[in-house]
Every structure is written in C-alpha cells, then in structure tokens.
Amino acid sequence: MNTDAPIGIFDSGIGGLTVAGAIQALMPDEQLIYFGDTAHFPYGEKSPEAIRNYSLRISAFLLHKGCKAILIACNSASSVAYTQVKKYVGNKALVVNVIDPICQYAATHYHQTRIGVIGTRATIKSEVYIKRIKKLNPALEVPSMATPLLAPMIEEGFFNHTISQTVIHSYLSGKHFQNLSALILGCTHYPLIKKEIREYYKKEVEIIDSANIVAHHLHRKLAENKLLHSGNQKTAHRFFVSDYTRSFEKSSHLFFGSAIHLVEEKLFH
C-alpha cells in the first residue's frame, strides 16, 4: 500500500467529522476522504442487514478512491458491520472501528466501578460495549441505554440549545444511570453535546468520547503497518455525501474551521 494514499472515513452523517477533525489535528500530513451516508441517516434505526449493505458499498467506494485505511466512524456500523467490512477489504487496506479503542480505554482506566454507555438503538441492542468491556475487565458494571433522539437532534443543529438540554436531562435522569464514574458517548455525533452532558453531571463523571482516543489508535495502527504519510505534499481533503443536506455543510466548520465542499455521490441506485 502507498503510504501517501488517503485515509477513508465513513459515517451516516456529520458525526464522523468529530473523529475526522481529531485525525486532522493529530496527523496533519494525511489526506482524508470522508463519506457521509446522509441518504440513510440514522444508521441506528436501520436493521443490521441494511447497515452491513451500506457499509460494504461505501467501503468499495473508498477502496476505489485508493484509500490505505478505512475507518468506520460510526458506532452502529462498527457494532454490526466491522467483521464483514474487514473480510471484504482483506489486505487491500487497514480497517479500524471506533468501538474497540474505547472499550480498551475504559477497561484499563477503571476498576470495580460503573461505566455507562449511551448510543443508538442498533449499537445498544448489539450489546457490543457490554460484551467487550466485560471481557477485558469483568469487574466493571456497564449499564447502557439507547438514546435515539440525540443523533437526529444534533444532525439538525440543535445542540447547545434548550431543546438539547431538555432531551439530555430526560435520558440521563433514570435511576440506573446514577453513581457512574464515566459515561461512554457511544455515537460519534455525541461529542457535539459533550459539554452539556458534562455540565449535567456537574463535571463529576468523566465523559468518554471517541474522537481523540480513536485518532491515536489509528495513528498507532498506521505506524505498526508502516503506513504513516511520508511527509510529502498531500492533496486536499475530500468530502462526499449520498444525499446533499444543508445542515451537513453548515456544521462542517465546527470541525475544519471553514465550510467544506461537498460532492454528492449516488452509490445506492
């Protein structure tokens, strides 16, 4: 594989841009190709079969673009499609998901305590966080809860807003989500409301989001496979969506400092 080839990243919407922004900050020499499957957002409400189908088609697109690595920057897709994507890609590119690095972090940083997980219905139903964290550290309690309103709310730009505060309070006030040491944001959209969630817990609970943890994990994997960019001049990042949305383009400046140019790519005819 060519070390100067791009890194492919995909999600169902803008959420994966939180991870893409962290990767850009950590590895500024790398070129990114991002695909937001806005035509099928949110993945968390789709069947596992549908999510696998979308993920495989997007992976084929990213391979066609010559990507040396594919990051599944979506918890729902990571939970139900990672194995299939990795098998399909084979040795053509490195494949990384956003769940394993978070589980490893939680299992090694906490002992005999409670770590909550919030995410989409697909992610929570898979029990992937519970199974992987408990396998690594059986002493941890891992209460989890589906929070299906959060991703659409964020996608539409309703964060740092009275609406988001009300929804967050409604979800997190349940009895089984009390006495936590940490809360895992099991959706790449959720870092956009990290500040509000931290304030809800009065900064007494660590809020674990995937962006920086996954970026450092990807950096290690690229280094291990001798795939880090050589440092030669790279081309600009490229951004694709399956269905153009104004909110996607409007929100992009939160991650990249300026508006990005979106190209609509119809993969699902």
> b/e for 251-263, b at 16 or more Cβ within 10 A?
bbeebbeeebebe
Check: CB of residue 185 under 8 Å from CB of residue 209. yes
Task: With CA atoms as reference, report the closest residue to 73 among 26, 120, 115, 13.
Answer: 13
Q: Which residues contact 136 (CB under 8 A, 6 or more apart)?
A: 103, 104, 107, 108
Percentages of the chain per state (helix, strand, coil), in multiples of 5: 50, 15, 35
Return the sign of the alpha-carbon dihedral for residues 161, 167, 171, 174: positive
Is residue 187 flagged as an active site residue? yes
Query: Strands 262-264, 7-11: parallel, antiparallel or unpaired by DSSP?
Result: unpaired
CA-to-CA separations, 31 to 78, 104, 141, 177, 233, in angstroms, rounded: 22, 27, 39, 40, 10
Is residue 103 flagged as an active site residue? no
Check: CB of residue 183 under 8 Å from CB of residue 115. yes
Tell me which of 74, 118, 128, 182 is the catalytic residue. 74
**DSSP readout, 186-238?**
ESTTGGGGHHHHHHHTTT-SEEE-HHHHHHHHHHHHHHHTT-S--SS--PPPE
Tell me which of 9, 80, 96, 187 is the catalytic residue. 187
Q: Which residues are catalytic?
A: 74, 187
